[in-house]
Structure 1
Amino acid sequence: MQRVTVTLDDELIAELDRFMSGRGYHNRSEAMRDLARAGMQQAGVESSEAGECVAALVYVYDHTVRELAKRLADAHHAHHDLSVASTQIRLDHASCMEVALLRGVTGTVRQFAEHLIAERGVRHGRLVVVPVEVHEETHAHGEDHAKSHAHIHVRHAG
């Protein structure tokens, strides 16, 4: 194991200490190791553009912005091959949160999400990507005859 010196401002140290307290860490080294691992794992997922993924896109938008709801709906219809399902909740008189479940080639899913998040009136957006492998498999379910269909398997990191 190697010792590394890192300089952090007081505000970030206070945040780190609150994080440690809430999660039960005994020292900053343990917390920093776990945060570094999580960050590197996420960066690896985010940098991968090839291959299939399933993803959750969460965004908050102002439905009073002129034709924004229509533009968002039109974007989903134009990319119906990526959209698996979506749900929406109203947060207040102007704000809506939508969760869209997506599936497709990672780069295409990411481009679609970035397009939606960049729309004027979208206040917050986050995409969570899970890399998967899709396999055609033939087998029976219950008393049905064997049928071929896709199975999605999560790709394990490392």
Structure 2
Amino acid sequence: MPRKDTVARFSVSLPSSLLDELDLLVKRRGFHSRSQAVAALAREGLVEMKSEEGSGTMAGTINLVYDYRTRNLQTKLMAIQHKYYVMVVTSQHVHLEHHHYLEVLLVQGPVEDLRKLTDELSACKGVKYCKLQLAAEALPPLL
């Protein structure tokens, strides 16, 4: 059973060189304390673990770079997104140099299905880059 969100204290032993790197991370990322940095790293690690396990419902983004000159590519990409319309919350694309678009899809759903969506998009001729980045638990239901 999950605990309430109260603060729990525990002791950690680290090699001094790793502690120096942690202090540098605290400074560079603007954390207020080592505890805040360790909590952020733990959250990131847990999201990664959940995504690797492929279990549960999560939210994240799919980042695509593609050559818009490729025949019928945009139609194919839209058809795939429509097939998975329940998982694609929104999308945005911007024009890049050299005939490329960057498209970012905000997605949520079962991890296995998000991977299938990503795989289908990346398999399209003309797609140069396609990556799923899982970030958190799923968004609240849309009304």
Do both proteins adopt the same fold according to a TM-score greater than 0.5, normalized to the shorter chain? yes
Spell out, residue by residue over 1:47-86, the C-alpha distance to the aligned partner (whole angstroms, 9 max, x if none): 1322111111111001111111111011111111111100
Spell out, residue by residue over 1:88-142, the C-alpha distance to the aligned partner (whole angstroms, 9 max, x if none): 00102510000001111111111101211222211112211123486xxxxxxxx
**2:78 paired with 1:69:** no
Separation in 1, partners of 2:83, 2:47: 28
Q: Which residue number corresponds to residue 60 of structure 1?
A: 65
Separation in 2, partners of 1:37, 1:50: 18
Percent identity over paired residues: 21
**2:137 paired with 1:131:** yes
Separation in 1, partners of 2:108, 2:48: 19
Counterpart amino acid of 2:137? P
Q: Which residue number corresponds to residue 106 of structure 2?
A: 101
Q: Which residue number corresponds to residue 92 of structure 1?
A: 97
Q: CA deviation at 1:87?
A: 0.4
Question: Contact 2:65–2:100 (CA<8 Å) still a contact in 1?
Answer: yes
Structure 2 gaps of 5+ residues are: 1-11, 16-24, 30-40
Counterpart amino acid of 1:72? L
Aligned length: 126
Separation in 1, partners of 2:101, 2:42: 33
Separation in 1, partners of 2:123, 2:107: 18
Structure 1 gaps of 5+ residues are: 5-18, 24-35, 135-150, 153-158
Structure 1 or 2, whichever has the larger Rg, is: 1
Separation in 2, partners of 1:39, 1:52: 16
Over 3 Å counting, the alpha-carbon distance change for 1:50 and 1:93 in structure 2 is: same
Q: Which residue number corresponds to residue 138 of structure 1?
A: none
Separation in 2, partners of 1:63, 1:122: 9
Counterpart amino acid of 1:88? H
Choose between structure 1 and 2: higher strand proportion. 1
Separation in 1, partners of 2:139, 2:99: 39
